[in-house]
Structure 1
Amino acid sequence: MDAHAAIPASFPALVLNADFRPLSYYPLSLWSWQESVKAVFLDRVNIVSEYDRFVRSPSFEMKLPSVVSLKTYVKPALYPAFTRFNVFLRDRFTCQYCGSKDDLTFDHLIPRSRGGQTRWDNVVAACAPCNLEKGGFMPDEVRMHPTQSPYRPTVFELHRNGRLFPPNYLHESWLDYLYWDTELEP
């Protein structure tokens, strides 16, 4: 079957580093089928696994890659960028005051009005009601302490947390590369 006859977006390729670990877990490192085919032609990746779907031209035919590995190792950064999304991922998309997973925002432990800075060690995920309740107060003043003290996570820690939130679609050819390093249950 020609890839153009099917929905192309349904054939993403999982991208692995040269050590066969995903480049990222959340969001999962995926390339469109076009990006993966281009990388094959530019000799930047090895095909690890393929779909049973083909891409064709008048003079060429190839199976679409489902898993590719980079030929050159990309050294991951030790620390992630400070972003709202990464704060939520560090805190596992959970309000650090009440445990809610709804209506998340972030809260400054030491309020900005009192000199608190917007940094890893002063910001936690908080639901809107808890954020509103804490307001411009210090945690001791309103007896609201986060379940986990804010800290600067490593990329490894965010990857570990990202594995707790798998994407809606996981192709069977990806499974051997996603969770091989997680602890097994007895």
Structure 2
Amino acid sequence: MNATQLVPLNLNKPRVLVLNASYEPMHIVSIKRAITLIMHEVAEVLEDSQDFIHSPSTIMPVPSVIRLRKFIRRPRVQVVPFSRRNVLRRDFFTCQYCGSTLELTIDHVMPRSRGGRHAWDNVVTACRECNQKKGNKTPLEAGMPLKHPPKAPKFNVLTMGQDHQAQEAWNKYLY
């Protein structure tokens, strides 16, 4: 893509991760909201995305991760419901064995036929090929190490129903 073929950004789409002052993930907001928080010095930028916003007098990188300057107390987060969709969200819609994003399924780390539970700590996202290759074995037996060990997510954004595209820069703040 050359400079004359700029794709306009949807400034209202949720795509900026907001962290509390303690670096705890709090929410995902739109670019517009994130820039407002930064301009009013309520938040600071920790990571920028690859995109830029242009005005007649300014070019500004679009933030990917921002952190609030003051700690916000919030009530304890409710338990994230266990569902196929939330497992896919937790694993960022990628195979936890090979990193593929095609033909995703759910795999039981310890197969159910061998006593594995259908729960957060035993289920991961896997592509169809890896799921079939692993079969009725554990990842160790199959020689297929996991990218991230399965665990219940603590971050309640998974259940807010927002259509956001998880970004690579978020991983170090979410895991």
Which TM-score band applies after superposition, normalised by the shorter structure? 0.3 to 0.5
TM-score by length of 1: 0.45
Q: Which has the larger radius of gyration?
A: 1
TM-score by length of 2: 0.48
